[in-house]
């Protein structure tokens, strides 16, 4: 892990961010003492599509959300210009 002073960090921030985006970690110091770290964000996991659909259906059931008996196809067709 590299250490860089706050003045240099400010001056070279775009380049530092590029390095962090590639996975590097950089400690920023002020008067020789660590004050901050530039680290990549936590990895964002992708949800399983089936799990997302289950969550949507559970939400619908909890909130009692329905289309009022109108078929989805009819709503789609209604919104289309002729």
pLDDT digits (tens, 9 = 90+) for 19-49: 999 999 999 999 999 999 999 998 877 888 9
pLDDT over 80 at 81, yes or no: no
Q: What is the mean pLDDT of residues 49-75?
A: 87
The dihedral region occupied by 25, where left means phi > 0, alpha psi between -120 and 50, and beta the remainder, is: beta
Name the CA dihedral angle for 56, 57, 59, 64, rounded to a multiple of 10 degrees: 140
5: how many CB neighbours lie within 10 A of its CB?
Answer: 13
Q: Where are the domains of the chain?
A: 2-38, 49-78
Tell me the average pLDDT of the chain. 90
pLDDT over 80 at 82, yes or no: no
2-38 CATH choice from 3.40.1620, 2.20.180, 1.10.132, 1.10.8: 3.40.1620
| High-pLDDT (> 70) share of the chain, % | 99
């Amino acid at each position: 892990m590299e250490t860089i002073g706050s003045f240099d960090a400010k001056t070279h921030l775009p380049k530092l961010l590029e390095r962090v985006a590639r996975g590097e970690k950089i400690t920023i110091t002020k008067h020789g003492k660590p004050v901050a770290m530039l680290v990549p964000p936590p990895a964002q996991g992708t949800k399983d599509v089936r799990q997302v659909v289950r969550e949507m259906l559970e939400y619908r059931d909890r909130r009692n959300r329905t289309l009022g008996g109108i078929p989805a196809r009819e709503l789609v067709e209604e919104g289309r210009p002729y």
